[in-house]
Amino acid sequence: MTSPKGTFDILPSSDEPWQQSHLWRFFEEKVYSAADLYGFEEIRTPLFERTELFTRGVGDSSDIVSKEMYTFDDKGGRSMTLRPEMTASVMRAFIEHRLDQKASLHRLFYMGPMFRYDRPQAGRYRQFHQLGVEIIGSKNPLYDVEMIDFAFSIYEKLGLSHLHLFINSVGDPAARKAFSAALKEYLPEERLSEDSKKRYHTNTLRILDSKDPQDQALLEGAPTLADFLSSASQDHLQTVIAHLKELGHTATIHPRLVRGLDYYNETVFEITGGGEQAQNAICGGGRYDGLLKTLGGPDLPGVGFATGIERVLQMLLAQNKAPLKKTLMTVFLIALGDSSKELCFKLLKELHSHDIAATMDYSGKKIKDQLKIASDRGCRYALIIGDEELASGLAELKELATRESQKISWKNLAAVLKGVLS
Which residues form the interface with ligand AMP (CB under 6 A)?
85, 116, 118, 123-125, 128, 130, 260, 281-284, 306-308, 310-311
What is the three-class DSSP state of 315? Answer: helix
Burial class (CB in 10 A: 0-12, 13-18, 19+), 168: buried
Q: Cα–Cα distance between 194 and 214 in angstroms, integer?
A: 11
* Minimum distance, C-beta of residue 249 to ligand AMP, in the bound complex (Å): 17
Residue 210 C-beta: closest distance to ligand AMP, Å? 15
Q: Give dist(CA 29, CA 42) in Å, integer.
A: 13
Complex with ligand AMP: residue 125 or 332, whichever CB lies closer: 125
Residues 214, 188 contacting (CB under 8 angstroms):
no
Query: What amino acid occupies position 363?
Result: S
Torsion sign over Cα 196, 201, 207, 209: negative
Identify which of residues 107 and 116 has a Cβ nearer to ligand AMP in the complex.
116
What are the residues whose beta carbons fall under 8 Å from the beta carbon of 174, sequence distance 6 or more?
230
* Residue with Cβ nearer ligand AMP (268 or 383): 268
Closest to 39 measured CA to CA, from 145, 130, 131, 146: 146
For residue 282, which of 5, 42, 18 has the smallest C-alpha distance? Answer: 18
Q: Which of 283, 249, 286, 250 is nearest to 268 (CA)?
A: 286
* Least CB distance to ligand AMP at residue 232 (A): 25
Q: How far is the CB of 116 from ligand AMP (least distance, A)?
A: 5
Identify the three-state secondary structure at position 2: coil
The residue (of 260 and 298) whose beta carbon lies closer to ligand AMP is 260
Pairing of strands 41-42, 48-50: unpaired
In whole angstroms, the minimum distance from the beta carbon of 23 to ligand AMP comes to 16
Nearer to ligand AMP by C-beta: 60 or 189? 60
- Closest residue (Cβ) to ligand AMP? 308
Strands (DSSP E) contained in 19-161 are 41-42, 48-50, 70-73, 79-82, 106-115, 127-136
Instruction: Kindly state the smallest distance separating residue 397's Cβ from ligand AMP, in Å.
Output: 47
Across the chain, how many H-helices and E-strands are there? 15, 16
Residue 118 or residue 361: which is nearer to ligand AMP going by CB? 118
* Rounded distance between C-alpha atoms, residue 230 and residue 173, angstroms: 10
Min separation Cβ 64 and ligand AMP, Å: 7
Write down the least CB distance from residue 18 to ligand AMP, Å. Answer: 12
- Report CA-CA distances (Å) from 176 to 13, 225, 260, 381: 49, 7, 15, 65
User: Whole-number minimum distance, CB 376 to ligand AMP, in Å?
Assistant: 33
d(CA 333, CA 329): 11
Q: Which helix (H) or strand (E) holds 308?
A: strand 302-308
Shortest distance in whole angstroms from residue 305 CB to ligand AMP = 8
Minimum CB distance to ligand AMP smaller for 37 or for 122: 122
Rg value, the chain, Cα: 28
Query: Least Å distance between CB 92 and ligand AMP?
Result: 17
- Using the minimum distance from each CB to ligand AMP, give the nearer residue, 54 or 410: 54
Of residues 125 and 152, the one with the C-beta less far from ligand AMP: 125
Which of residues 123 and 386 has its CB atom nearest to ligand AMP in the complex?
Answer: 123
**CB burial of residue 98 (10 Å; 0-12, 13-18, 19+):** exposed
- Residue closer to ligand AMP (CB basis): 265 or 370: 265
